[in-house]
Amino acid sequence: MEDDRVVLCGANAYEQKYYFNETFDKIPQSIKDELHVICVLFTEEVGGIFTIVFEKDGSLSLETRAEEDDIYYDEIGSGLLVGKIRRTRQELLESLSLYYRMIILKENPSDLLKELGEE
């Protein structure tokens, strides 16, 4: 946890490992599996380290980085792939954000529904 940010999950191409934060163990298995696939395929395609992080306000950030001496990391491809994930998995990301805001941040569900209705 850094500055009230919380890592949901991530993958590391260097160590060939996947991480899922146990705090969110109550998320349905099908969603956990989908997150696992997203993270691992990302690092398989462009390399580096990819994480999905909850911001202080409950929004989600998709972050990627590489080790300084990694000449195989595809920086342009990583940016394009983040954009693609945001477009194709928008509903999943919005649902996770709502989950975090209701369950972790304890925001009022009726306020969240009103906010969704205004968009």
Q: Which residue ranges make up each domain of the chain? A: 6-118
The pTM for the full model equals 0.89
**57-114 residue pLDDT tens:** 999 999 999 999 988 898 899 999 999 999 999 999 999 999 999 999 888 877 777 7
What's the confidence (pLDDT) of residue 112? 74
Say how far apart CA 3 and CA 57 lie, in whole Å. 11
Whether the predicted pLDDT of 2 surpasses 60: no
Q: Is residue 1 very low, low, confident or very high in pLDDT (cuts 50, 70, 90)?
A: very low
DSSP character string of 14-74: TTTEEEE-GGGTTS-HHHHHHHHHHHHHHHHHH-SEEEEEE-TTS-EEEEEE--TT-TT--
62 closest CA partner among 82, 35, 87, 80: 82
Whether the predicted pLDDT of 119 surpasses 70: no
Contact present, 62 and 52 (Cβ < 8 Å): yes
